Amino acid sequence: MRRSKKNSNNDKSRASSLAGTKTLVVILGAHGGGVANAKWLLKRGAAVTVTDMRSASELSHSLARFTERERRDIRFVLGGQHEEDFRTSDLILLGPGVQKRSSWRKIAFDLGKRVENDASLFFRYAKHPVIAVTGTRGKTTTTQWITQLLARKHHNVKASGNTPENPLLSEVDRSFPSGEPHVVELSSWQLELAPVAGRSPKIAVITNLYRDHLNTYDGMEDYADAKANIFAHQTAKDSLILNYDNRWFSYFAKKPRRSKLYAFSLTRLPRSYDGAYIDRGYLMLRLFGEDRRVVPVRAFLHEYGEHNVSNLLAAVLAVALFDPATRITSSDLRALVGPRMREEIVFRAPRLTVVNDSTATTPDGTIAAIERFSKEGEIFLICGGTDKELSFGELARLVKKRVPPSSLTLLNGSATKKLSAALARIGYKVSAPHEDLDVCVREALTQSKRSRKRAIILFSPGAASFEKFKHEFERGERFETLVRKMQTENERRRGKGKARVNAP
């Protein structure tokens, strides 16, 4: 993130301006971000009120993260929200549960209040250059791989932003040497208000755009516009990285911007674009019009699939733009570790692999997982969950092609009903869904035993989780608990198998 001397000198005055500010934190939440935001504001002397429609008992896990002193200093309004709290606050900090269509959000703006979220506050106070990543798919993987590739030289770099473990504002308070970057993942929700700060990242990456969150946005262009906010205030010295293979490339590329555009592609880029691409099995970089061979990727492609090669291209390009002296080798690729619950292999035995892909919350995510793992064996798919107003036609066609009816297990939910209907329309025999994940796992395991090839139990819901779980992470943790139980039983019977094989 570009930072002027004037902005740097104003840091203290901006920070002190929060002292005594009547701040309303809207949505405490189950992920921990609301807790982190409230703690951060309290630390800066703000008078904090936290409000949430859920009761104290429903939020007990989040409330337990506050110290006794913090609980005394914060005013909690739980089990309901009141316009008076919005009216009497100077700063209203919205949490991710406050959707764009929320009446409370409208009230906040109608009252003329200062309305922010964690991303806008982050951009106001971040002291280091920022590499930021967004997109429908691959943003977490790309963020983590940028971090891992930079960390060999920039030892204090750390991924943050959209994770319970390292929320965005915690990155502002970290102390590390000047010149090292913040590397952050940003959701479309965070980017809705990020431009309020008037600043953008030094390097912005949009991995791709697919149908998602249409229960929140007024169509795909509305969703794309939220993502485009990542480069709203970039300068001529900043860089924007876009996916040339994605159909939304032109939409983003044509938007007004001051930054330099770079592209990445699974095939050779047109000469008009600098960027990263694949040519004859090699990852290539083109900077200042000159092409350079970086590293062979055939083995990586075979093991992890094209979608992860796209993530790799974006990550390598971002690293090269931030620090051109960084050298990337085949051993660096082998050392890359993917994020938790994203196509993560959690159990492997001679004839069985179990994959936790709980964070596949869209049909496109499940499509990518099926395409990758169907090359390794016979797929036994567990999917289904909560709908986000998405289409399941393409996923249904791939399931019919790659997953026999006896190998498909459905977890009930509003999205499951849509998938079942899409499958029925193309002549696929659909079995009744189950209400419990436990039953799904047992059924998939039983069915997998009949496979004559390597069996791949793939838990890739292709939908959100809210009808049965707090979030996709709780869903994934429950799946792993069941897998561990399965592993114990398997080892007792055979004395074989190993778990926790983390792969991208």
| 123-147: average pLDDT | 96
Binned at pLDDT 50, 70 and 90, residue 20 comes out as confident
R_g of the chain computed on alpha carbons: 23
Nearest 5 degrees, angle CA 228-CA 105-CA 125?
Answer: 55
Q: Which amino acid is at 79?
A: G
Return the CATH number of 19-116, one of 3.40.50.460, 3.40.50.720, 3.10.20.30, 3.40.30.10.
3.40.50.720
The Cβ-side half-sphere exposure at 329, using a 13 Å CA radius, reads 4
- pLDDT of residue 450 exceeding 70, the answer is yes
- pLDDT of residue 126 exceeding 70, the answer is yes
| 209-236: average pLDDT | 94
Return the CATH number of 344-499, one of 3.90.190.20, 3.40.50.2000, 3.40.50.300, 3.90.1150.10.
3.90.190.20
Binned at pLDDT 50, 70 and 90, residue 1 comes out as low
- Give the pLDDT confidence of 30-39 residue by residue, as tens digits: 666 788 899 9
Instruction: Please give the torsion angle defined by the CA atoms of residues 68, 73, 74 and 76, in that order, rounded to the nearest 10 degrees.
Output: 70
Residue 3's closest CA among 222, 281, 198?
A: 198
Residue 318's closest CA among 142, 134, 138?
A: 142
| 35-62: average pLDDT | 92
Return the CATH number of 119-335, one of 3.90.226.10, 3.30.720.200, 3.40.1190.10, 3.30.300.20.
3.40.1190.10
Percent of the chain with pLDDT over 90: 76
| 468-495: average pLDDT | 84
- pLDDT of residue 111 exceeding 70, the answer is yes
- The pLDDT value recorded for residue 7 is 44
Residue 27's closest CA among 87, 121, 99?
A: 99
- The pLDDT value recorded for residue 13 is 44
Q: Which amino acid is at 301?
A: L
- Give the pLDDT confidence of 302-357 residue by residue, as tens digits: 888 899 999 999 999 999 999 999 999 999 999 999 888 999 999 988 899 999 99
Beta carbons within 8 Å of 492's beta carbon, 6+ residues apart: none
- pLDDT of residue 75 exceeding 80, the answer is yes
Tokens of 398: 């791939």
**Pairwise CA distance, residues 38 & 26, whole Å:** 10
80: left (phi over 0), alpha (psi -120 to 50) or beta: left
Distances (CA, A) of 459 to 7, 388, 391, 418: 47, 19, 19, 18
Whether 382 and 409 have beta carbons less than 8 Å apart is answered as yes
**Pairwise CA distance, residues 59 & 377, whole Å:** 42
Check: pTM over 0.95? Answer yes or no. no
- The pLDDT value recorded for residue 165 is 67
| 122-150: average pLDDT | 96
- Give the pLDDT confidence of 366-421 residue by residue, as tens digits: 999 999 999 899 999 999 999 988 999 999 999 999 999 999 999 999 999 999 99
- The pLDDT value recorded for residue 132 is 98
Distances (CA, A) of 474 to 30, 137, 236, 359, 468: 10, 20, 42, 10, 10
Whether 334 and 437 have beta carbons less than 8 Å apart is answered as no
- The pLDDT value recorded for residue 496 is 53
**Pairwise CA distance, residues 183 & 194, whole Å:** 16
Whether 328 and 295 have beta carbons less than 8 Å apart is answered as yes
Helix ranges (DSSP H) in 329-434: 330-335, 363-373, 393-402, 414-425
Beta carbons within 8 Å of 105's beta carbon, 6+ residues apart: 94, 98, 99, 115
* Beta partners for residue 453, in sequence order: none
- The pLDDT value recorded for residue 492 is 73
Helix ranges (DSSP H) in 328-392: 330-335, 363-373
Whether 255 and 280 have beta carbons less than 8 Å apart is answered as no
**Strand 378-383 and strand 408-410: pairing?**
parallel
Beta carbons within 8 Å of 1's beta carbon, 6+ residues apart: 123, 126, 128, 129, 130, 182, 199, 200, 201, 202
Backbone φ and ψ for 167, nearest 5 degrees, come out as: -65, 160
Q: Tell which wins on pLDDT, 199 or 30.
A: 199
Instruction: Please give the torsion angle defined by the CA atoms of residues 319, 263, 343 and 421, in that order, rounded to the nearest 10 degrees.
Output: 160
Range picked from 96-100, 168-172, 355-359 for highest mean pLDDT: 355-359
Distances (CA, A) of 12 to 8, 40, 177: 8, 15, 19
Q: Which amino acid is at 10?
A: N
Beta carbons within 8 Å of 452's beta carbon, 6+ residues apart: 378
**Pairwise CA distance, residues 408 & 400, whole Å:** 10
Give me the DSSP letters along 205-237: EE----S--TTTSSSHHHHHHHHHGGGTT--TT
- The pLDDT value recorded for residue 485 is 87
Domain boundaries, the chain: 19-116, 119-335, 344-499
- Give the pLDDT confidence of 281-303 residue by residue, as tens digits: 999 999 999 999 999 999 999 88
| 195-212: average pLDDT | 95
Query: Residue 260: is it exposed, middle or buried by C-beta count within 10 angstroms (0-12/13-18/19+)?
Result: middle
Neighbours of 21 (CB within 10 A): 16
Whether 360 and 461 have beta carbons less than 8 Å apart is answered as yes
Binned at pLDDT 50, 70 and 90, residue 29 comes out as low
How far from the centroid of its chain's Cα atoms is residue 469's Cα? 18
Q: Tell which wins on pLDDT, 4 or 63.
A: 63
Residue 119's closest CA among 187, 73, 21, 27?
A: 187
Helix ranges (DSSP H) in 248-391: 249-253, 298-304, 306-322, 330-335, 363-373
Mean pLDDT of the chain, nearest integer: 91
